[in-house]
Amino acid sequence: MRVRIEPGMNERLMEEVRGKVRRYLHEIAEEFWEVDGIFMLRYGSASIGVEVLPWHKEDVLVRVFSYLAEDVNVDEDLARILLDLNARFPLGAFALGINGSVLFRYSLAGANLDLNELAAAVYTVAVVADAYDDFVRTYREVGSLSVD
């Protein structure tokens, strides 16, 4: 089977996948809310976001993410630590956002999204964010740390 990927956005699919994400989140999370098209939930000290984004005409992306800290001076040491951590995680990755923010995110193809995939993505982001948000915030304040 050959899949042809054409640029563009599929509004109908975006809405279908948003509805699917909403239904699945009712099964995954005790509580969540929706702000400007982004579904939000809490896990420990972390806030988790889930958004549906355009990708191409045949599919959309479901991005699960958590901002760990903002206004971080991302120096060479922190960049190396985050890249090293990325190599250790089988799914998801640390990323740098605007204004010195550090986040952890995990993206999925949305057209055939199922409950198990979304649950795994939410759980992975939640656990990593809850474990590493204090680390990144401490790095922001202290300016150096090491990871074992």
Query: In Å, how far from its chain's centre is CA 9?
Result: 21
Q: What are phi and psi of 138, to 5 degrees?
A: -65, -40
* Rounded Cα–Cα distance for residues 24 and 116 (Å): 9
> Would you write out the chain's pLDDT as a tens digit for each of its 148 residues?
566 677 778 899 999 999 999 999 999 999 999 999 999 999 988 999 999 999 999 999 999 999 999 988 888 988 999 999 999 988 999 999 988 899 999 999 999 999 999 999 999 999 999 999 888 888 766 665 444 4
pTM greater than the 0.85 cutoff: yes
C-beta separation of 144 from 77 below 8 A: yes
Q: Which of 92, 43, 90, 35 is nearest to 63 (CA)?
A: 92
* Rounded Cα–Cα distance for residues 128 and 115 (Å): 20
Instruction: Identify residue 11 by its one-letter amino acid code.
Output: E
